[in-house]
Amino acid sequence: MEKYLEHSKEVVNQLKEKYKACDFYFRLKQSNVNISVFFILANSAILSEENLWENVSKEIALKYQSKLETVYEKWNLYIIYITSDIILKELKNRIENNKFSSRKIVEDAYDKEFNNEESNRLIVKHITNADLKEIVETTKGTSISVYEPENKKLWELLAKDEKVSGDRKAQEEFIKQIDAL
């Protein structure tokens, strides 16, 4: 784990030096496997300029992902692009559907101060879904009521196992029964 943190610091510093209009952050989340997450903060115009987002992705692949040891760690490399403005849908789709090296996520219209707490929130929201257990626990007490139909006779008619599709006589009989109700 320590070596990944060292590699990431080096990569983040190189990226900051090269792409001064962007901010870069890194988090290593331990789960069953190490999850590496790079955060890139920039406006959408900067990300689209000369495909900056793609160049950043390639550099992370070359300088960081190539140092990861297991296939699982390489598979669990994420880049989250954060923009304060709303990114064009076409650009967002190009970024998120790009299959080279890492999984890419766009978080646009971001209006919060980015810090460790926010990075954890975004990791939970987009990657680990660790809040699902909490959500399930809080909704366990919710009871599901039994459906009470408006017209019980019609409901009973519909609930029969008889098949009427493709059978003209059965369909006619079904319509007569509905009319009789």
**pLDDT tens-digit readout, 64-99:** 999 999 999 999 999 999 999 999 999 999 999 999
Torsion (CA) 87, 91, 94, 98 in degrees, nearest 10 = -60
Average of per-residue pLDDT across 108-113: 95
Confidence category of residue 141, pLDDT binned at 50, 70, 90: low
In sequence order, which ranges of 32-115 are alpha helices (DSSP H)? 44-48, 52-63, 71-75, 89-96
Span between the terminal Cα atoms of the chain, in Å:
71
Helix, strand, coil share of the chain (percent; to 5)? 50, 15, 35
> Is the model's pTM score more than 0.75?
no
Mean of the per-residue pLDDT values for the chain? 88
What residues pair up with 25 in beta bridges, in sequence order?
A: 39
Residue 82: Cβ-neighbour burial (10 angstroms; 0-12, 13-18, 19+): buried
- As given in the structure block, the two tokens for residue 77 are 């490399």
User: Tens digit of pLDDT for each residue in 42-66?
Assistant: 999 999 999 999 999 999 999 999 9
Q: Are 11 and 63 in contact (CB under 8 A)?
A: yes
